[in-house]
Structure formats: C-alpha cells, structure tokens
Structure 1
Amino acid sequence: MPTYVVTGKNTSGEQVVSVNISGINQEPTIVPEIDVVNAVRAFLAGTAGVNSVVAQRYEQVITVI
C-alpha cells in the first residue's frame, strides 16, 4: 500500500501545510486512491495562504531472496 504526502506551499515556495495519507483501506475498491489524494489537493489549493500544492507517492518494495 503506497503512502502519500500532500504539501501546500506559499508564494515564496515555503511549505505551510503537509498532509500524510498512510493508507486508504477498502475491500473491494470503492474509490480510486488518486481520487482521495486529488480531493485533499483540491481542498488545500482552495485554502487561504496556499499558492501551490504538490502530491508525492511513496511505495515500499520488498525483495525476498
């Protein structure tokens, strides 16, 4: 399961807010994960003081030898 970090930055590029999404648990899939991430991005983009929003996805890869 990937984790996401959605970051809002001000006009000078400084981070002013960060949201960590550590897991979206559902069985079966009801809502695509990207829709949840985009909803958080849209919310932050509409917030006063936030000029730009970036979402990053992180995945852990485990290799068994």
Structure 2
Amino acid sequence: MANYVITGKNGSGDSVVSIQIGAISQEGTVVPELDVVNAVRAFLGTVSGIGSVVAQKFEQVITNV
C-alpha cells in the first residue's frame, strides 16, 4: 500500500491540518484505499476554516541493479 498525506489549507494557502494514512488493514479488498482517502478529503472540506484540501500519494520503489 502507498502512504498518503492529506493536507487542509486555509484561505491564505497555509497548512492548518495534516493527516497521514500509512496502512489500511483488511482481509482482501473490502474498501478500496482511494475511497478512504477521498472520504477524509471530503470530511476536511466541510470543516470551517479549511479553504482547500490536497492529497499526496507516496510509493516506495525498489530497483535491483
């Protein structure tokens, strides 16, 4: 699974809240990980003082040489 950082910014563009999602434990695929990320983004979008919400995805890539 990838790591996600969801950041809520105020009207000036300053970060006011940051949420990190590092793991979602489930047997098989019960809930797609993007649905969880989008649910958190949608929630932050309803909070007063939050002007915009940005989600970033980070994946580890291992290369053997």
TM norm structure 1: 0.94
**Number of the residue aligned with 1:47:** 47
| Shift, 1:24, TM fit | 1.3
Query: Displaced runs of 4+ in structure 1, greater than 3 A?
Result: none
Deviations 1:3-56 (A, max 9, x none): 000000000000000000011122200001000000100110000100000000
**Number of the residue aligned with 1:31:** 31
**2: distance between equivalents of 1:64 and 1:23?**
25
**1: distance between equivalents of 2:56 and 2:24?**
15
Q: Unmatched 5+ residue regions in structure 2?
A: none
SS in 2 for 1:36: helix
Q: Unmatched 5+ residue regions in structure 1?
A: none
**2: distance between equivalents of 1:2 and 1:34?**
10
**Number of the residue aligned with 1:56:** 56
- What RMSD in Å do the two structures reach over aligned CA positions? 0.8
**1: distance between equivalents of 2:32 and 2:44?**
19
* Paired residue total: 65
TM norm structure 2: 0.94
